[in-house]
Amino acid sequence: MPTTLKPVYTSHSAVTMTSLNSLANNAYAGSGAFNNTSTGYTDMLVSVRITAGASGVSATGSYTVYAFADVDSVPTYTDSVTGTDAVQTPPSPTNLRPIGIGNCNANGGVFRAGPWSVAAVFGGRLPARWGLVVQNQSGAAFAASGHVVDAIGINDQGV
């Protein structure tokens, strides 16, 4: 008889991304890399909350969330992303994997988007080492604080 799998969710974790603070328009902020070799999650769900700058935000403004990954032990990440909480400079066009887009279209607004599956953008499997990159496309710098990136791990359990 086949086993039925049920998702088991871990406790929520906040992802440190201080590089989002005052991030310039069209710039990229990266997270530290997650090491999935010890946790063995089958997926992680991520969501992002951005606080827009106080002025200059475009009525069509947004932000794009990307994922980067590595499959060797060096590690060598997509588009030379560093795997650290820092401003990143990927080439254009980027080879980063788009996860989702969030609105960011009003001065001083708080915009939450997601959750998105990280495994989905990598063919259904969570890589050994991976992380997030957010591109500001709001028309102005993000606020100096008030940004939150959340993640929750998922493992499958037979029932």
**pLDDT of res. 1:** 56
Check whether the bond before 115 is cis (ω within 30° of 0).
yes
Check whether the bond before 98 is cis (ω within 30° of 0).
no
- Mark the ranges of the chain whose per-residue pLDDT is less than 70: 1, 159
Angstrom distance (rounded) from CA 149 to CA 17: 7
Angstrom distance (rounded) from CA 28 to CA 95: 13
pLDDT tens per residue, range 108-144: 999 999 999 999 999 999 999 999 999 999 999 999 9
Check whether the bond before 75 is cis (ω within 30° of 0).
yes
Q: What residues contact residue 136 under an 8 Å CB cut-off, 6+ apart?
A: 23, 24, 25, 26, 27, 28, 29, 63, 104, 142
**pLDDT of res. 137:** 98
**pLDDT of res. 144:** 98
Other Cβ atoms within 10 Å of 72 Cβ, number: 8
**pLDDT of res. 83:** 92
Angstrom distance (rounded) from CA 62 to CA 25: 10
pTM: 0.93
Chain centroid to Cα 53, Å, comes to: 20
Q: What residues contact residue 42 under an 8 Å CB cut-off, 6+ apart?
A: 119, 126, 154, 155, 156
| Exposure b/e, 124-154, CB count within 10 A at least 16 = b | eebbbbbbbbbbbbbbbbbbeeebebbbbbb
